[in-house]
Amino acid sequence: MRAWIWLGMFVFVTPVTAEQPQNDSTITLDQVMVLVLENNPELRGASYQTQAAAARIRAAQQTPAMSVNIELENFAGSGSLNDSQALESTLSLSKIFELGNKNELRGEVASQESFLLDTHQDARRLDILATAARHFIHVATDQESLELSRDKLKLLQRSYKVVEKRVRAGRSPVAERRRVAIAVTRAEIELEHAEHELKTSQLKLATMWGSKAVNFSAVRGDLYRLPAIEPFNKFEKWLDRNPDLVQFATEQRLSQSRVNLAKSRQSSNIEFTAGLRHLNALDDSALVMSARIPFGLNSRAAPVIEEQQSLAQEVEFRFEKQKLALYASLFEIYQELSHSHFAVEMLQSRILPEAKKALREYEKGYAAGRYSFLELIDAQQTLLDARLEVVTTAANYHRYRIEIDRLTGARLQLGVKP
């Protein structure tokens, strides 16, 4: 079973294209996924591991090769044997005939190891896609943070103009103007830092498809659109798709194949040799033939069989342990996902509207002399903090959703087969 992650969360859905983005273009999550699947260096290199696994299967299925034997007797001795008169030379062919279908069982072990490699690659592919999605969210978050920094600077510049009027009118001390000027400068520094943060996150995203240059201007998607959360029992059912658990099923088949291969050691291999012997003394030739069959193999194979049977049983307990650990992680992340969804709703529907109204009232009141400068600054900061909290909480929601999709090996609906 090949498990895929559903990374089409928060409905970043557009027609899929594998074309490289242009410098002035935006890029969607679907486009990122396609680029990563087609161009990620690690995923491209995985095909060579698959080719190597296929070669190992072919090698394991081979039977023992035939051998050519040359045997010389009764030469370079003493007395009547000091020359080649009594030489006996034998040319023969040897072949080992394996009993118990050993070559087929070796091929089965190699095949199961190849399947295990496939599950490893599936898991790694999911990790890489999940990482790319997290980078995508990071870029989207940095874009919103940059916009917030710009709004903060505009807000402080507007406040500076209000304070400047009050100072000129003698209604506020010069110190207030200086404090606002400092705040404006700090906001400019924050804006410059936010620009650098965005450039860094964009580059990290671009490297996921092997690019050293950021060939897109922005990512496109609604960070604040949060899909409804499915019931927990639905995610729990999907947990069986987790690539780590799927891997255990392959490990169990591999363990049984190794047990069968170990049991085949109880069957003897027959080495058969046949050839032609030439006797120099008589100048005659004759056929020779021999067979070699080992015995006592049952006792020798028993420890190996016991070892493989014990390892096969151990896989089942590791499976149960891993499933319990994944269940606990899934439950914890689900709680955080639910909290993030609730928090974003409360912030957008209740806190932000109230913070905006409060700021407007404080701006009017400060201009009229009813509120102090500190109260105005506090109202501004309350609104900015609430907006930042919406950004970070919404980003956390999508990060938790990625982790759940990664744990459940959920569906990747991009119409792309890697």
Question: In terms of residue numbers, what domain contains 47?
Answer: 9-65+100-267+307-408
For residue range 92-135, what is the model confidence (pLDDT) as tens digits? 888 888 888 878 888 888 888 787 788 888 888 888 999 999 99
Beta bridge partners of 387: none
Q: How many residues does the chain have?
A: 418
Strand 67-73 to 88-97 pairing: antiparallel
**Predicted confidence (pLDDT) per residue in 325-335, tens digit:** 999 999 999 99
Tell me if 278 is assigned to some domain. Answer: no
Q: Under a CB-based contact definition with an 8 Å cutoff, are residues 39 and 209 in contact?
A: yes
Task: Please give the mean pLDDT across all residues of the chain.
Answer: 83
Q: What's the CATH number where 175 sits?
A: 1.20.1600.10
- The residues facing 96 across adjacent strands are 271
pLDDT tens per residue across span 174-205: 988 999 999 999 999 999 999 999 999 999 99
Q: Best-predicted range by mean pLDDT among 252-261, 291-300, 369-378?
A: 369-378
Q: Check residue 333 and give its pLDDT.
A: 94
Burial 2-40 (b: 16+ CB within 10 A, else e): ebbbbbbbbebeeeeeeeebeeeeebbbbbbbbbbbeeb
The share of the chain scoring above pLDDT 70, in percent, equals 89
- Asked whether residue 43 is assigned to any structural domain, the reply reads yes
For 289, the 3-state DSSP assignment is strand
Residue 416 covered by a domain: no
Asked whether residue 1 is domain-assigned, the answer is no
In a domain, 222, yes or no: yes
d(CA 87, CA 279): 6
Percent of the chain with pLDDT over 90: 33
Cα 387 to Cα 102: distance, rounded to the nearest angstrom? 68
Query: Across the strands, what pairs with 285?
Result: 278
- Of the candidates 316, 307, 322, which has an alpha carbon nearest to the alpha carbon of residue 251? 316
- pLDDT, greater one: 410 or 152: 152
Whether the Cβ atoms of residue 197 and residue 148 lie closer than 8 Å to each other: no
Asked if residues 5 and 129 have their Cβ atoms less than 8 Å apart, the reply is yes
Instruction: Count up the domains in the chain and report the number.
Output: 1
Residue tagged 């874009």 (tokens):
143
In a domain, 70, yes or no: no
Tell me if 48 is assigned to some domain. yes
pTM: 0.79
Residue 4 covered by a domain: no
Instruction: Quickly count: other Cβ atoms within 10 Å of residue 161's Cβ.
Output: 9
